[in-house]
Structures are given as structure tokens and as C-alpha cells.
A and B are shown apart, each in its own frame.
Chain A
């Protein structure tokens, strides 16, 4: 196992040299560590191609769609404590209460969360984690950081994941009890759900930039919700042009 990891890592680093990051002055200010992040991304893609994607494909083939949806619902429901606590920490007790209601309804009437009966009944899903909470507390912009195995993140959201782990049963089991079944199933299900998107990613001119831009915008949206600011369009235009 260890040897395999080293091999993958080496393969990733070699592939990393093939793509070129923009020179420092042209880099996105949110991603000053682009060369490092690109190497980690290549490594992650290597792991994905060699192990995760084949496993997810197999799983996708043998698992009927309704079952997959149930598994996805189950893990979303399992993350509810993280959501409930963080909504509270963000000063949104009303939303936190509704998230708790969702958790209760889906756990009791949705067979331990396999069925998302709450959404069907009009109780909308919330998305909150400690990274977002720290953003609302004032740590608004943070450097983009590609984490090995875990994927796109920022420095802030990386710390956030660590803080959230004890509240999430699957991570708790993995870290404290060394029981990895739940975590593994979640990862495979999540990856299987993303299989249809592979074509989009591979069609991008620059996968790394594509994923980064989409992820950062999506994150901004999760933090600010409907109040998320529009892109700075005026800044997009060439200064020499008069529009």
C-alpha cells in the first residue's frame, strides 16, 4: 500500500511538471501557491484515475439509481449535526432549528435518512460548515489550497474541516475507532455521483483553473447565499475600452 502511494505521488509530480502555471504577476491573487496546488491536483487526479474512478464506476454499474440516491441521502443526513451546530454559530438560530427539524424528520420517518422526506415536504436543505462559519466571523478571503486526497479547499476551510470532523459520525469513526467503512462508502458514492461531470472537466482547456474557479465561486455563494455579490464586471473590461 505504502509503495503504491509513493509510486502515485511520483507519477503525480512528474505529470505536474507538464503543465505550466502562469508567471507570478499574472496569477490570481486568491491562488498565490498555484505551482504547488497544481502538483497536488495532478497527484489527486492520479489517485482518482488509478483507484477511485474505477471503483466508483464499478459501484455505479452494480448499484441501481434509487439505491444510490438513498445512500447519498443517508450521508447528507449524517452530516446534519455539523450543519445544525454551524448555523447556530453563524447566529442563525431559526435556520438551525429548521435544520434540526429536517434531521429529526429524515432520521425518524425517512428510515435513518435513506429517504429525504423533509425536502419532499418543503423543508429545504441547508449547507453549513465551520469554514463558512469562520467566513461569517470575518475571515472572508483565504488562500486557495489543494489538499491531497480531499481536493479543493482554502487555508480557512482546511482548518474548518478539522473542526467539523468530531461532529461528523463517519469521520469520528474513522479517526477515533479506525473504522473506515462508512467513510469509504461515502467517498465512493460521492465520486459515483460526479461521474457524469468527468466529461465537462476533461473538456476544459485547463482542468485545474476550471475546477478552481468553479469551486471558489460556489464557495462564495455558499457563504453569502442570495446576497453573494456579482462578479466585478467593470474590472473584467479592458481599461482602454469605453463601454
Chain B
């Protein structure tokens, strides 16, 4: 039973290779389309076993996330003097948390049409771009969710998500800073990896 979605997802991954020249909007649109298609096909399995969906979301999202840059932004000067390896560990644990929350939220959508990807607007540069999306809620109102991209080594990757104006990086940064100030980096990393640290992710 478990093998079928796994095989399916491997096939889907094979069919949609990551293209280096994709722009941020195409990345968001393509990733969302793929995810929703997959969820529509396997909704029952995912509802029964959320871990499967998390694996799926991780496989699809991780290539498009600049985890280390995100981690550096969140750590700021607290990252000073800590080995690169430990920082990468921290960045990975942090993105894992985001992926888990994202996967939980995804199941609540009934249709792809609830998410609208807007064309680029505003002050985007060649190095940084903000892709705006709108999520239609049951109440009829639309919640803005923005993905902030950064270009490094010729590839666009997400490093921040902004939900209704609330930045994941900025909010997490202050929490983390306070925790490191009181308990130190090692203790924090331990807690983060154990899944004891939580962050808000609005749906």
C-alpha cells in the first residue's frame, strides 16, 4: 500500500525535472500545480498518513528553498563562531518545521482554484523577487501569501514566506534570538531537531 504513492511520486518527479532557468513565478506556479495534482490523486492516503504527504512536500519544495540563507538570516549575529556544519543542521531543521506546517495546511484546501498566483509587481530586482499569491478562504475573503526569492548561483530559491504581512524569517528570528540569549545555541538546536520548537503558520 505504501509503495504506490511512493512510486507515483517518483514518477512525477521524473516527469518534472527542475529547470535551472525557471523564473520565480514559474517555480511557484509549477510547484503548486504539481502538489495539488498529487494531493487530488492521493487525498485519502495522505489524510490517513500525514507523514507520506510531508515526504512528498519535502521532495518537491526542498530543491527550491535556500535553507542556509534562511538560517543565516534567522541566526544573525548569533551564528557567529558556530561551525558551518552546525548552521546547516540548524537550517535544515528549521525548513523541516516549515515543510511540516505547509503539508498540514495543504490538506485543508479543497481545490487548486483557491490559490491564485499574481503576476510580478512592485520593486523586484535581479537578485530578489517577491511572488504574491492569494488564498481564498471559506469566508470569501482572500489571504495574501508571498514567497520571497533570491538568486544565487544562477538559481532562484525561496528564503522567506510572508503570510498576511507576517514574515516567517522575521518572526522566527526574534524567537530564536531570545532562546539563544537565554539557553544557548546547542540547546536550541537540540529542541528544534526534537520537534519541540513551534512557529505560527497562518492558513
Query: Contact at A213–B139, with CB atoms within 8 Å?
Result: no
User: Which B residues lie within 8 Å of A203 (CB)?
Assistant: 197-198
Question: Which residues of B are found within 8 Å of A197, using beta-carbon distances?
Answer: 200
Q: State which of A116, A209, A227, A238 has its C-beta within 8 Å of the C-beta of B77.
A: A238
Q: Does B76 contact A (CB under 8 A)?
A: yes
Q: Measured between alpha carbons, how far is A228 from B162 in the docked complex, in Å?
A: 11
Residues B179 and A205 in contact, CB atoms below 8 Å apart? yes
Among B22-30, B35-43, B165-173, the one that faces the other chain is B165-173
Q: Does B175 contact A (CB under 8 A)?
A: yes
The smallest C-beta distance from B83 to any residue of chain A, in angstroms, reads 14
Chief secondary structure at chain A's binding surface:
helix
Instruction: Give every chain B residue within 8 A of A228 (Cβ-Cβ).
Output: 165
What's the minimum C-beta distance from A40 to chain B, rounded to whole angstroms? Answer: 19
Known: A124-B141, A124-B142, A209-B174. A226 touches B132 (CB 8 A): yes
Q: With A and B bound together, what is the CA distance between A210 and B162 in angstroms?
A: 15
Interface check B72, CB cutoff 8 A: yes
Which residues of B lie under 8 Å from residue A240 when comparing CB positions? 80
- Residue A200 at the chain B interface, CB threshold 8 Å: yes
Interface size class of B (residues with CB under 8 A): 35 or more
Is the C-beta of B130 less than 8 angstroms from some C-beta in chain A? yes
How far in angstroms is the closest Cβ of chain B from A168?
21
Q: Assuming A22-B181, A210-B200, A220-B165, is B140 touching A236 (CB within 8 A)?
A: no
Q: Within residues 218 to 243 of chain A, which ones have a CB less than 8 A from any CB in chain B? A: 218, 220-222, 226-228, 230-231, 233, 236-241, 243
Is A69 at the interface (CB under 8 A from chain B)? yes
The interface on chain A, measured as residues whose beta carbon lies within 8 A of the other chain's beta carbons, has a size of 37
CA distance A120 to B137 in the complex (A): 11
- The smallest beta-carbon distance between A175 and chain B, in angstroms, is 30
Q: Hey, which chain A residues are within 8 Å of B132, CB to CB?
A: 226
Specify which chain A residues have a CB less than 8 angstroms from the CB of B170 in the assembled complex.
213, 217, 231, 236
Q: Could you tell me if A236 and B173 are in contact, using CB atoms closer than 8 angstroms?
A: yes
Given the interface contacts A204-B198, A210-B175, A231-B169, does A125 sit within 8 Å of B141 by beta carbon?
yes
Q: Are A237 and B76 in contact (CB under 8 A)?
A: yes
Measured between beta carbons, the chain A residues less than 8 angstroms from B141 are 119, 124-125
Q: State whether B175 touches A206 (Cβ < 8 A).
A: yes
* B73 A233 Cβ-Cβ under 8 A: yes
Q: Point out the residues of chain A lying under 8 angstroms from B197, CB to CB.
A: 203, 205
Point out the residues of chain A lying under 8 angstroms from B148, CB to CB.
230
Q: Are A227 and B122 in contact (CB under 8 A)?
A: yes
Q: Does A214 contact B (CB under 8 A)?
A: yes
Q: A34: shortest Cβ distance to chain B, in Å?
A: 11
A203–B172 alpha-carbon span in the complex (Å): 12
Can you list 11 pairs linking A and B with CB atoms under 8 Å apart?
Answer: A26-B181, A200-B200, A203-B197, A206-B178, A214-B171, A218-B165, A226-B121, A230-B128, A236-B73, A237-B72, A239-B77
On B, residues with C-beta under 8 Å from A are 69, 72-77, 79-80, 121-122, 128, 130, 132, 139-142, 144, 148, 160, 162, 164-167, 169-171, 173-176, 178-179, 181, 197-200
